Structures are given as structure tokens and as C-alpha cells.
Amino acid sequence: MAYFLILLTAVFLLPQHSIGESDSYSRNPVSSQPNESEVILTITGDIMGSDSQLHSALNEETASFDFLDSVSEVGAILRESDLTIGNLETTLAGKKARYTGYPMFNTPETILDALKEVGFDVLTTANNHALDRGLTGLISTIKNIKNQGFMHTGTYANRKDYLNPFIITVKGIKICIVAETMNANGLEKLDYGPETNHIVRYIGKSNPAADVQRCKNGGSDITMIFPHWGTEYQRYPDDFQKKAAEVYIKAGYDLIIGSHPHFPQPFEIRKVKTKDHYKNVFIAWSLGNFISGMTGRYMDTGLILKIVLGKDNKTGKAFFKSALWTNIWLHREWEPNRKLRLKIIPVSEYLFNPTRYRTLSKDSRIRLKQVWKECIEVPGTSVVWRF
């Protein structure tokens, strides 16, 4: 797998604090230095539930849905990290609420089986489709996610959950994850009862500085924000994204990982002065799509981001080490029985592997080369090197 290195050196130190066992999460450690532990986070773009995905996953004989085939080829990439995070941009409200794709998404819960199989651990749920099946659908989505053993943040059943910081301990490093969205396609304007203001976290209505402080009070070493923002189908961040990012940086966030545009957008590193030192804030404006039914240039591809965190085992200090990315492509193939087959494929593993490359049609080979070039151009800054 070909990755591209975004940042090479450690950039900030944060104190270690203790939290309860219920908040902890761990996997086998990976260490690059004798006195240093590493945590690798893998982050993907939007996980959608388009009509074509439903068609591809449907077994007409059993009237059941199996999404694993569409994501299985990237499982090795996702599972080689300590924590894998994705944006679930659909509801899981059940069959009675009717399964539909765009514009009001409701996806069979079996999509969670596929996501679990390939290695996802955390699903962010703050996005413009969070209320596509109302409050009942939102609550059902949360329950289904929890029942499958996933962690999640961004939508909540009540005010208590809304205010409680989501902190994960991964091999001794405390990571606080916050997720919020610009809107819910107008559905946020409806009255959902006493908990109306606490079921979804919204950009502009939340208090980023207070959220970061709650993370720190909970013992977090590193704070991450996942904003669902920007303008769809654009290659570069808009003014809203830029203004929101300034607010997040001022509030104290260390990592900003965006979604919603459905196009991969650039990475950026900001050098920020704190009270006693400088730190680099990493911004991924948009990772594009992970899995969807979207076709066309930039929409059928996405980035998988790997962020490496370190911890000095002598001092107990945690720090950001580096970030890398690779790209994926949504391959579409019509089988002889007119069954559509959707499959995410790792671009470099097909482009540079003659055996795999030859399995693709002529048109697919052409598009694969285009996707490679498009994503190579995306970061567009001097902070990107081939790894």
C-alpha cells in the first residue's frame, strides 16, 4: 500500500490524566522507540447509504442485505491501526421506516456488520442526514450502533449524553472526539420535545471552547473535532469552513477532520502559539467519500487518513507525530444478470500490481489512473511527501 507522508515530526506535548475504566479502549501497542509508544488512528470519509448501494447489497432470494463485499478489500488497511473512525451519514431506523437512499437515507442495520468486519471502531453521526427519520430514527440509529459494539458521538439521546465528553483511552493516550454538523437539512428547525437542543451537536450553536475544556477536565491529552461542513462537490474549503476552523483552533482543538463536500479537499497544517509553546494543528478539510453510490469525477474516490500519535513512556507526555494518506476508488461493475456490484478498491494496490490491474476493464483502468492523479493533486501543499 502506497502512503504519502503529511507531517514528519512531533509537534506538541500535553499532560497525562487518569479517567475511569469505562472510558478506556486499547489494542496491542506499536512502538518505534524503546521509550515511546505509538497509537495509529485510521480515519475515512463519508459512509453513505445510496440507492445503488442498497441494490448492490440486496439478496433477492432472501430479501436480505449484505454490504461486506463492497468494503472488504480495504479491511486490511483499516484493521492495521489501533482505532478506526468513520462518518456514518445515514440513519438505521429499521425496515418499518422503509429503506431508502437519497435524499432521505435509511439503511439496513446489516451495514454495521460490514463496518465491524473491516475494522471500524468509532462512528461519528453528526451530519445533515442525522434526522432523516426524525427523533425516533435518530434514537434507533444510536441503539443499533451501540448494540453492534461501536462507539459513537455527534448525536445523543439526552442532554446528559450531549454534555458528557467522549474520551477514548488508547494505549495510555486519552483522545477526546467531538463531532458536529452545520445543519440537518432543515429538520433541525422542528420541535423534538424537551431534548430538541441536545440530540445533535450543531456548528454555531455549540461552544467549542467549553467543549475543549470539558475534554481537558475529563483528562484528554488530545482533542479532535469532526465538523460536517462546507459546500458539496467542491475541491477546496469555502469561507464557512475557514471561519469555523479559526474558531476551533482558537478553542484549542489539535486535529480537525472535516466531511460533507463528498470531494477530497486539501490538508493543511497551522502553527499555533499557545500559552507556553507552539503546536501544529492538522486540518483535513474533507476526506471525500468512503462508500457511496455517487459517480463522476472526485465523487467516486476518497482518502483514508492515518494519524500517528506518540507517548513518551518516561515523561507520560502525548504528542502528534505524523499523518499519512492513501486513496480509494469506488469500482462499479454490472454482472451478466444485471446485478450492480459496488466495491471500494485501494488505488495503489491495483495500479501498481499487474495481476490485479489486469482484472479491470479498459474503462476502469483509465479511470483508475485518473483517480490516482486527482488524489495526488488534492493535498496541493509542500507538507506532503511520498512515504
Q: What is the pTM of this model?
A: 0.90
CATH code at position 165 = 3.60.21
Strands (E), 48-115: 58-59, 64-65, 83-88
d(CA 239, CA 357): 40
Tally of CB atoms within 10 A around 3: 17
Nine cell digits for residue 343: 466495491
Helix, coil or strand: residue 329: strand
Range of the domain at 372: 4-386
Half-sphere CA count of 100, side-chain side, radius 13 A: 11
d(CA 269, CA 178): 20
Helix, coil or strand: residue 253: coil
Tens digit of pLDDT for each residue in 210-248? 999 999 999 999 999 999 999 999 999 999 999 999 999
Q: What's the whole-number mean pLDDT along residues 257-280? A: 90
Query: Of 112-121, 182-191, 251-260, 376-385, which range is least confident?
Result: 376-385
d(CA 109, CA 123): 14
Query: Of 82-91, 243-252, 276-285, 356-365, which range is least confident?
Result: 276-285
Residue 11 has pLDDT above 50, yes or no: no
- Confidence (pLDDT) at 33: 63
Tens digit of pLDDT for each residue in 121-149? 999 999 999 999 999 999 999 999 999 99
Nearest 5°: CA angle at 43, between 97 and 378?
A: 110
- Domain tally, the chain: 1
Query: Of 240-249, 259-268, 271-280, which range is least confident?
Result: 271-280
